[in-house]
Amino acid sequence: MLANYTLSLSIWVPILAGLLVLAAGNDSRASMTRWLALLGGIAGFLVTLPLYFQFNIAEGGFQFQEATYWIPAFQIYYHLGVDGISVPLILLTSFTTVICIIASWEVIKKSIAQYMACFLIMSGLMIGVFSALDSILYYVFWESMLIPMFLVIGKWGGQNRVYATIKFFLYTLLGSLLMLVAFIYLFHKTGSFNIVKYHDVVLPLNVQIFIFIAFFMAFAVKIPMWPLHTWLPDAHVEAPTAGSVVLAAVMLKLGGYSFLRFAMPIAPDASHYLSGYMIALSLIAILYIALVALVQKDMKKLIAYSSISHMGFVTLGFFLFSQLGLEGAIVQMISHGFISAAMFLCVGVLYDRMHSREIASYGGVANTMPVFAAFAVFFAMANSGLPGTSGFVGEFMVILASVEYDFWVAFIAATTLIFGASYTLWMVKRVFYGEAANKKVAALKDLTRREFAMLGVLAALTLGIGVYPQVITGMTQATSERFLNHMTTSKLPSVGM
Amino acid sequence: MDTIKADLLMSLPEITVLSMAMVVLIIDLFLNKKNRLVIYGLAQVTLFVAAYLVWGSHTTTVDYAYSGMFVDDPLSEILKLATLIGAAIMLVYTRHYMMLRNMFSGEYYALLLFATAGMMVMISGHNMLSIYVGLELLSLCIYAMVALDRDNPKATEAAMKYFVLGALASGMLLYGMSMIYGVTGSLDISVIAQRLHDSALINPDFVKNPVLVLGLVFIVAGLAFKFGAVPFHMWAPDVYQGSPTGITILIGSIPKFAGFAMAIRLLTTGLDALVLDWQNMLLIMAVLSIAIGNITAIAQTNLKRMLAYSTISHIGFLLLGLMSGTLNGYASSMVYVMAYVLMALAGFGVILMLSRKGFEAEQLDDLKGLNQRSPWAAFLMLITMFSMAGVPPTLGFYAKFSVLQAALQAGFVWIVVFAVLMAVVGAFYYLRIIKLMYFDEPLDDAVIDAPLDMRMVLSLNALALLGIGLMPQGLLELCGRTIYASLH
């Protein structure tokens, strides 16, 4: 087979572009720095496209594999590969990076080069997480990614940014280090850090439960699941707009993806054993966090809580162990990537003009910014799960799957259609409708071409996936069948062994 | 006659350093203040010649000299090489600092060379006496160096404290050695190991001999003091803070190589039969060091004091590897000590760079807004801090990783989980430094001027933390191979 370096390119093109921006960019050459970053971002996006077009959708295993010895002392390989779950997420990542660079075009005025470089490097590292098939390689990407995000929130964030960014870093680090312990444990069991080998290792139930909990700590923080979510509202509120976009669109998905890659296939029996708890936690996230979102006064905080609530559907879909639920969860991940990114961009558009995130300081924005209001209302509808948008597809699939599992689970999950609509639409009403609340609102200017372009693309994608979700489900079908097949095989040591 | 010649040849690097130290002392008498750079050059040349000699005599076998007092194995060669290079890097960092503070004197370089010779003897010592002599040579030089800035009451106090406690620790070590001698009848490491082994074969209860165990306790206590492991750590913060930074960088870095060698010789080779006893002692000290080091560091406002507590926690991790009692564990400890020294040199190097005439960069606040004053210096410190916190893709991650996997392999799952939790606590104060550098406004805008050679070496040093972090195979394999070849 001919060597295929698509994945390596996807990882390293943005990282190298980031380093180049860092080396060549400068605040005194702001415009050149921005264009260079944009070119890097677009190049990074283009090199990921072959993953979509050359992907063999009939095949459920790993494709585009690359493997070379990296650290022979510990049997660690530079081993990459993708399946139907990771490809959409990689594309989401490289696409989001371009959006982020455009979104920060005029807003960021100090240390532009460092800022843009952070996003480009982060993009490469996140793609690395989605494509690593060696657990230490995965871990290195997973942790390194924290460094640029830490700097982005801490340096370009809002008032309380230092508290938020340190909280973000430490929460994530705590979980990840426990995951590292689990990796090392599995290494001593299997003599390898290969993720695929981990999937086949035989483990007694109590060990599986410990391993599952170690992974759970890492991923539940990232997704985030209630009650480990408290870092997210802080981080979102303080992060600059593009930082929030990456956090919501991609970083949260890393947690979801990792559940499918590690926690569940390595400890399938523990996953089944603990699925009741996981479903309960997901429902708490869906219902309780939606209620919390309802009372928020800060727009970004509201969207942050709505993210947690929507990610509850993802974990719910995973632990129903059905094809429909799983695919619904994956669609939900992608769709949430677009919608939450768009929502944060909308807040960013307002914030850039008014420097306030308080709902109370707005009112009647639709009078002065009609085009923007149209976009915002569209994304709000998508966020509350309007049929025809991608937000509906994922949630509906998961709810259908949960009806098969248990009526009351489905019932509680379905309440989100009411609560989601209430907190989003209520916010829209207060911000956009009525008379212009004050002079500042009355003086607002509508979208610039740059803003129109980025919101337009996101709107098209949200609508596209909503109408034709097969774009994603077609890719994931073979992989999710394989995954569920694997999940039904017990890995407990057989009696008498 | 031939054996003498062979003995002398084998210890040629030590002889070189020692004789050059005396040459430096004498030449210094005939130089006026302007020509002191000659001394600096001489010291650097000495270190490089010695390093070249060590490199040239590289073998894969274990050879003895001076009737077994002195050993030449891959472990000693690698550690000596690392010590010499570390000392050379340190000299580059401190030259400017010492010049500005009127401490750029012949004594400093002579003492440093003597201390280096002491460390080399410790590393190659294969007899309790030679190890002890090396240790004392090192310690006495450092006591004097701490007091080099004699008009500074803080430095004098630190020197006094260090001397009294250090002498006490040396006494304990010596007392423990005498007990071991009393039981085994020998001071030679191999003979002690052999006799303990033989006696244990005849009578398994032999290793429970109270004199033997008491001797071990004293030896471990003495070692722990020299390392600065909890509960023998109280000297470290005061001495780190009180010493001139140009000396703190010495105390906090290269002697850990010698300490590591001493632990390997005494515990894992000589007292191997007592592994179950010292394993427990090291375990307790490791856990306490990691916990107290990391937690106390949070409360510090003085940068050097904070780094002292950070050192204590790193020593805890180092002991975690030794404690595993396997070759894998010793190799991982060696990785850790290498990584630690590289990080400590870079960290103190940045502090030295920020100090200028009449100004000591000592407080955490002195780092505020460093990214605006000098993005490159801030970036180097950023790498160093993430490395100390053990965040990939830096070297510090692989150091922690290899120690943790060794401890996990030896079955200490909960200890590893505990160490990992404490590493999160530790990450906080490293992050705080990054916060100060990147997120805060600078308090002063003095230009950071450092000589070109220092900038270059410091950049290489910090970038090595990143570079080795991306490609750690070389270091991991080197340490693994060295330990297996020397102790197998």
List C-alpha distances in Å: B484 to A203, B60, B227, B278, B410.
Answer: 32, 10, 24, 21, 17
Q: With contacts defined as CB-CB under 8 Å, which chain B residues touch A181?
A: 404, 408, 413, 416-417, 420
Over its length of 488 residues, how does chain B's per-residue pLDDT go in tens digits?
577 888 888 889 999 999 999 999 898 888 877 778 888 899 999 999 999 999 988 888 888 888 888 998 899 999 999 999 999 999 999 988 888 888 888 888 999 999 999 999 999 999 999 999 999 999 999 999 998 888 888 888 999 999 999 999 999 999 999 999 999 889 999 999 999 888 888 888 888 888 999 999 999 999 999 888 888 888 899 999 988 888 999 998 999 999 999 999 999 888 888 888 899 999 999 999 999 999 999 888 898 999 999 999 999 999 999 998 888 899 999 999 999 999 999 999 998 988 887 777 888 888 888 888 888 888 999 999 999 998 888 999 999 999 999 998 888 888 898 998 898 888 888 988 988 888 888 887 777 778 888 899 999 999 999 999 888 888 889 998 899 888 87
Token readout for A375 is: 């976009």
Domain assignment of residue A141, yes or no: yes
**CB distance A395 to A327 below 8 Å:** no
Nearest CA-CA partner of A226 in A293, A282, A291:
A282
Helices (DSSP H) in A145-251: which residue ranges?
146-156, 161-190, 195-198, 205-222, 231-238, 241-246
Residue A265 lies in a domain: yes
Q: How far apart are alpha carbons B81 and B55 in whole angstroms?
A: 7
CB B248 within 8 A of CB B348: yes
In a domain, A496, yes or no: no
User: Chain A contact for B298, CB < 8 A?
Assistant: no
Which residues in chain B are closer than 8 Å to A151, comparing Cβ atoms? 434, 438
Nearest CA in chain B to A140: B392
Separation in Å, CA of B271 to nearest CA in chain A: 28
Closest Cα of chain A to B481: distance in Å?
A: 10
Domain count, chain A: 1
Considering only alpha carbons, which residue of chain B is nearest residue A154?
Answer: B439
- With beta carbons under 8 A apart, name residues in chain B contacting A165: 435
Span A245-282, pLDDT tens digits? 888 888 888 988 998 888 888 888 888 888 889 899 99
pLDDT > 80? residue A131 = yes
Q: What is the pLDDT of residue A449?
A: 83
Asked whether B332 and B321 are in contact (CB, 8 A), the reply is yes
CB contact under 8 A, A146 and B392: no
All residues of chain B having their beta carbon less than 8 Å from the beta carbon of residue A240 are none
Search chain A and give the residue with CA nearest B383. A147
Note the pLDDT of residue B445: 76
Whether the CB-CB separation of A282 and A412 falls below 8 Å is answered with: no
Q: Is the CB of A178 inside 8 Å of chain B's CB atoms?
A: yes
More confident residue, A60 or B457: B457
pLDDT of residue B272: 86
Where is mean pLDDT largest: A475-479, A484-488, B125-129? B125-129
Q: Are B316 and B432 in contact (CB under 8 A)?
A: no
The tokens describing B246, both together, are 């140009």
Residue B397, chain A, CB below 8 Å: the answer is yes
pLDDT band at A109 (very low <50, low <70, confident <90, very high): confident
pLDDT at A2 over 50: no
Question: What pLDDT, on a 0 to 100 scale, did the predictor assign at position A3?
Answer: 58
| Cβ neighbours for B320, distance < 8 A, ≥ 6 positions apart | B286, B290, B333, B403, B404, B406, B407, B415, B419
Residue B428: domain span: 2-487
The answer to whether A17 and A39 are in contact (CB under 8 A) is yes
Query: Does A472 reside within a domain?
Result: yes
ipTM of the complex: 0.85
Which residues make Cβ contacts (< 8 Å) with residue B469, sequence separation at least 6?
A: B387, B392, B393, B394, B395, B396, B397, B398
In a domain, A191, yes or no: yes
Pairwise CB contact (< 8 Å): B438 & A173: no
Which among B393, B408, B435 has CB closest to A188? B408
Inter-chain touch B473–A161, beta carbons under 8 Å:
no
Closest CB to B428: pick one of A71, A155, A170: A170
Where do the H-state alpha helices sit in A25-111?
Answer: 30-53, 86-103
**Average pLDDT value for residue range A222-239:** 85
Q: By the 8 A CB rule, do B95 and B104 touch?
A: yes
Yes or no, beta carbons of B391 and A166 under 8 Å apart:
no
| pLDDT band at residue A228 under the 50/70/90 scheme | confident
From the list A74, A151, A181, the residue facing B417 with the nearest CB is A181
CA of A142: which chain B residue's CA is closest? B392
Mutation site for A-interface testing, chosen from B420, B421, B478, B481 by largest number of A Cβ within 10 Å: B420
Across the range A107-128, mean pLDDT stands at 87
Q: Could you tell me if residue A494 is inside a domain?
A: no
Cβ burial of B5 (10 Å; 0-12, 13-18, 19+) is: exposed
Give CA–CA dist A138/B84, Å, rounded. Answer: 37
Number of domains in chain B: 1
Nearest to A302 by CA among A288, A314, A292: A292
Q: Residue B312: which residues within 8 A CB-CB, separation 6 or more? A: B228, B229, B230, B233, B236, B289, B292, B293, B296
Q: What percent of chain A has pLDDT over 70?
A: 99
Distance CA B183, CA B179 (A): 6
A184 near B CB under 8 A: yes
Interchain contact, B477 vs A136, CB within 8 Å: no
Residue B66 in contact with partner chain A when CB distance is under 8 A = no
% of chain A with per-residue pLDDT over 90: 4
Nearest CA in chain A to B425: A170
Assess whether pLDDT exceeds 80 at residue A493. no
CB-based contact, A173 to chain B, within 8 Å: yes
Question: Would an 8 Å CB–CB cutoff place B405 in contact with chain A?
Answer: yes
d(CA A279, nearest CA chain B) in Å = 27
Note the pLDDT tens digit of each residue in A313-343.
899 888 888 888 888 888 888 888 888 888 8
- Residue B398's SS3 state is helix
pLDDT at A496: 45
Q: Is B320 on the interface with A (CB under 8 A)?
A: no
The string of pLDDT tens digits covering residues A78-97 is 888 888 888 888 988 989 99
Which strand (E) or helix (H) includes residue A67?
strand A63-71
Measured CA to CA, the distance from residue A192 to residue B486 in angstroms comes to 27
Nearest Cα to Cα of residue B193 among B268, B118, B102, B132: B268
* CB < 8 Å to A150, chain B: 431, 434
**B70 CA to centre of own chain:** 21
| Contact at CB, B439 and A146, closer than 8 angstroms | no
The pLDDT of residue A495: 55
Cβ contacts (< 8 Å) between B435 and chain A: which residues?
154, 162, 165-166
Name every chain A residue with its beta carbon within 8 A of the beta carbon of B424: 170, 173-174, 177
Bridge partners (DSSP) listed for residue B64:
B71
- pLDDT bin (cut points 50, 70, 90) of residue A497 is very low
CA distance B210 to A268: 52
Kindly state the greatest CA–CA separation across chain A: 80
| Residue in chain A lying closest to B371 (CA) | A111
Cβ within 8 Å, pair B423-A154: no
How far, in whole angstroms, is CA B221 from its chain's centroid? 17
- Cα A64 from Cα A67, distance rounded (Å): 10
Q: Residue with structure tokens 């010779």?
A: B117
pLDDT interval class at A494 (50, 70, 90): low
A192 CB neighbours in chain B (<8 A) are: none
A23 touching B, CB under 8 A? no
Q: What is the pLDDT of residue B82?
A: 94
**Residue A202 lies in domain:** 6-488
Residues B134, B125 contacting (CB under 8 angstroms): yes
Cβ distance B391 to A147 less than 8 Å, yes or no, reads: yes
A187-197 residue pLDDT tens:
888 888 888 88
A442 touches chain B (CB under 8 A): no
Q: Which of A146, A165, A181 lies nearest to residue B391, judging by beta carbons?
A: A146
The answer to whether the CB atoms of B393 and A140 lie below 8 A apart is: yes
Residue range A196-206: mean pLDDT, rounded? 83
Q: A164 CB near a chain B CB, below 8 Å?
A: no
Q: Does B473 touch chain A (CB under 8 A)?
A: yes
What does the pLDDT read at residue A1? 45
The answer to whether A190 contacts chain B (CB < 8 Å) is: no
Per CB-CB distance under 8 Å, the chain A contacts of B484 are: none
Residue of A nearest to B422 (CA): A174
Chain B residues within an 8 Å CB radius of A185: 408, 413
DSSP states along B401-470: HHHHHHHHHTT-HHHHHHHHHHHHHHHHHHHHHHHHHHHS--S--------HHHHHHHHHHHHHHHHHHH
Q: Between B473-487 and B74-100, two packed helices, what is the crossing angle to 10 degrees?
A: 130
What DSSP designation does A297 have?
A: S
Q: Could you say which DSSP state residue A251 is in?
A: I
CB contact (8 A) between residue B477 and residue A147: no
- Measured between CB atoms, does A177 come within 8 Å of chain B? yes
Name B127's bridge partners: B188
